[in-house]
């Protein structure tokens, strides 16, 4: 059943999700795909942990990648601060190279984090990686495998998704900026969502501040779209229960 912030209190929503671990591939994934939800959860007392697989260093000449990775790591810290999230883990895997990482190493690291934090809910990409990025797809497989190693105390697992109406409204942006691989995004009918987070007011403001903190990735896009349309674009977060959960 879909849960929307427009018809449920924040405290009831957080009570359902409990403590949360979100797991992503690159700095800014977390803010785009679950920034509002994390801000809400943190503001209402849930423990929120954000795990990022890489520093996002690849989009620079080889000699500048270390510096870009440091910048994006600093941006991540600032973005999570804007969301009120105090706990994050950077796994340090190579940007663009997650598929080449021994999956047992990555899965073991995630299992250790989940055993330490003991979340009620884990959130990550679906199998298609949402945008189709290979690192996103790989992280999704790692998370699914890590959660599967728990027995009766396994956390709930949610995958991010979108809805057609919202995606269609911004198709020009997705095309102009090559946001998605061909055939994506996969969208979900609203009645099949586990959670629909419609952001407005202070929560949307917090998400916007978080994304502005990722300036190396977002400044040009914000300017090209205009801030009001950009706010509309980031105002929806959708999640489904992972298959088999």
Nearest to 30 by CA among 76, 90, 98: 76
Whether 218 contacts 26, CB under 8 Å: no
Query: How would residue 6 be classed by pLDDT, with cut points 50, 70 and 90?
Result: very low
pLDDT, one tens digit per residue, over 210-244 is: 999 999 999 999 999 999 999 999 999 999 999 99
In this predicted structure, what is the pLDDT of residue 44? 86
Give how far the C-alpha of residue 95 lies from the chain's centroid of Cα atoms, to the nearest Å: 16
| pLDDT score of 1 | 35
Both structure tokens of 243: 């298959």
pLDDT in tens, 164-185: 999 999 999 999 999 999 999 9
Helix then strand then coil, in percent of the chain rounded to 5, is 50, 15, 30
Determine the straight-line distance between the first and last CA of the chain, rounded to whole angstroms.
Answer: 15
For domain 10-240, the CATH superfamily is LmbE-like (3.40.50.10320)
- Alpha-carbon gap, residue 1 to 245, rounded angstroms: 15
CB atoms within 10 A of CB 44: 16
Q: Are strands 195-198 and 156-161 parallel, antiparallel or unpaired?
A: unpaired
Q: Is the pLDDT of residue 5 over 60?
A: no
Phi first, then psi: what are they for 198, rounded to 5°? -105, 110
Give the global pTM. Answer: 0.95
97-105: long-range contacts (C-beta < 8 A, 24 or more apart)? 97/135, 98/25, 98/53, 98/54, 98/134, 98/135, 98/138, 98/139, 99/134, 99/135, 99/137, 99/138, 101/138, 103/141, 103/142, 103/145
> Backbone phi, then psi, for 124, in 5-degree steps?
-155, -170
Q: For residue 54, report the phi and psi dihedrals to the nearest 5 degrees.
A: -135, 165
Please give the Cα distance from 73 to 127 (Å, whole number): 25
Q: What confidence tens digit (pLDDT) does each residue in 29-88 have?
A: 999 999 999 999 998 899 999 999 999 999 888 899 999 999 999 999 999 999 999 999
For 84, the token pair is 């009120």
pLDDT of residue 224: 98
What residue spans define the domains of the chain? Answer: 10-240
Alpha helices for the chain (secondary structure H): 10-17, 29-43, 65-83, 103-117, 134-148, 164-169, 171-176, 201-213, 215-225, 227-233
């Amino acid at each position: 059943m879909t849960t929307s912030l427009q018809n449920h209190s924040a405290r009831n929503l957080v009570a359902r999700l409990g403590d949360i671990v979100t797991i992503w591939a690159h700095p800014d994934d977390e803010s785009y795909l679950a920034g509002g939800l994390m801000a809400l959860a943190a503001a209402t007392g849930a423990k929120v942990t954000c795990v990022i697989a890489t520093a996002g260093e690849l989009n620079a000449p080889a000699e500048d990648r270390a510096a870009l990775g440091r910048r994006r790591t600093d941006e991540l810290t600032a973005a999570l601060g804007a969301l009120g999230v105090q706990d994050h883990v950077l796994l340090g895997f190579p940007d663009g190279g997650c598929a080449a990482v021994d999956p047992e190493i990555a899965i073991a690291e995630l299992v250790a984090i989940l055993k330490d934090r003991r979340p009620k809910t884990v959130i990550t990409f679906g199998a298609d990686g949402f945008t189709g990025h290979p690192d996103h797809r790989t992280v999704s497989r790692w998370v699914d495998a890590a959660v599967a190693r728990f027995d009766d105390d396994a956390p709930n697992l949610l995958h991010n998704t979108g809805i057609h109406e919202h995606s269609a409204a911004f198709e020009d942006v997705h095309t102009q900026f090559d946001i998605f691989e061909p055939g994506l995004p996969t969208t979900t009918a609203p009645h099949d969502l586990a959670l629909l987070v419609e952001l407005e007011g202070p929560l949307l403001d917090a998400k916007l501040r978080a994304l502005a903190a990722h300036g190396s990735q977002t400044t040009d896009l914000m300017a090209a779209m205009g801030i009001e349309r950009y706010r509309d674009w980031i105002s929806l977060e959708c999640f489904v229960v992972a298959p088999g959960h």
